[in-house]
Amino acid sequence: MTRARVITIDGPSASGKGTVAARIAEALGFSLLDSGALYRVLGIAARKQQLSLHNHQQLARLAADLKIEFGISGPGSVQLNGEDVSQEIRTDAASKLASEVGAIPAVREALLQRQLAFRQPPGLVADGRDMGTVVFPDAELKIFLTASPEERAQRRYKQLIGKGIGAILPDLLRELKDRDERDSQRAVSPLKPAADAAILDTTKLTIDEVVARVLELAAVSMDDGTP
């Protein structure tokens, strides 16, 4: 049996991977795995239950038992035990919690099977930090998106201001660098490009330009020679 195709899109926070992944999935008719959302939901679930982030076994059990549903109340929506947490998981507090629980090996192990289950025909676009290196090492196309920390902080700033949420640019830049550091330095599944990933620096590119480039690479990787 041939396995469903996978395109992985990894990269640091605010590199544009979520938006690009959603656009590529839609263009190709593939399903979408926003793996960061799983870590974010786990982070807020742990907070709601007042679990200590030091109790790794308890967190891993929670990760295995969580009832998470995607797309129930609209595209990109996320439900935790029937409660819509789509907004809550995008807060800065949830980003930090996600990065913290993501550094725990037992948690990553518990979330692995869940992520693999998203691989369904005709294909999957998976975005995160370790999609190409650990979760789908046999993906047929691996993309690693980067952009300078300053550009990423600027994008996040515009996004927050656009939503009417107050933000301070130097604070955003500092938080983003902290998160990069934690995600890249952890012992398990650190943020790094797979050896066979195409690296795209998006600092000076628009989302449309990035999407067009990834679709070009996808067309080449899926060309199996049949006329």
Decide if residue 36 touches ligand DC (CB under 6 A): yes
Q: How far is the CB of 1 from ligand DC (least distance, A)?
A: 26
Closest by CA to 143, choosing from 189, 200, 195, is: 200
Q: Which of 5, 119, 129, 155 binds ligand DC (CB under 6 A)?
A: 129
> What x/- string results for residues 175 through 204 when contact with ligand DC is judged by CB under 6 A?
----x---x---------------------
Q: How is residue 178 written in tokens?
A: 């902290």
Largest CA distance in the chain: 58
User: Checking DSSP bridges between strand 68-70 and strand 31-34, what pairing results, if any?
Assistant: unpaired
Q: How far is the CB of 35 from ligand DC (least distance, A)?
A: 4
Q: How far is the CB of 19 from ligand DC (least distance, A)?
A: 11
Decide if residue 13 touches ligand DC (CB under 6 A): yes
Please give the helix or strand (H or E) that residue 223 lies within, else none: none
**DSSP string of 96-154, one letter each residue:** HHHHHHTT-HHHHHHHHHHHHTT--TTEEEEEESSIIIII-TT-SEEEEEE--HHHHHH
Decide if residue 142 touches ligand DC (CB under 6 A): no
Q: Which of 40, 119, 142, 152 binds ligand DC (CB under 6 A)?
A: 40
| Alpha-carbon distance values, 61 to 36, 65, 72, 99, 111 (Å) | 18, 6, 24, 18, 10
* Span interacting with ligand DC, options 50-58, 125-133, 162-170, 217-225, rule CB under 6 A: 125-133
Distance CA 211, CA 24 (A): 7
| Count of positions on this chain that bind ligand DC (CB under 6 A) | 14
> What x/- string results for residues 82 through 121 when contact with ligand DC is judged by CB under 6 A?
-------------x--xx--x-------------------
Distance CA 176, CA 174 (A): 5
Distance CA 101, CA 51 (A): 11
Query: Is the dihedral angle over the CA atoms 101, 115, 133, 10 positive or is it negative?
Result: negative
> What x/- string results for residues 42 through 81 when contact with ligand DC is judged by CB under 6 A?
----------------------------------------
* Span interacting with ligand DC, options 23-31, 32-40, 60-68, 164-172, rule CB under 6 A: 32-40
Binding site for ligand DC (CB under 6 A): 13, 35-36, 39-40, 95, 98-99, 102, 128-130, 179, 183
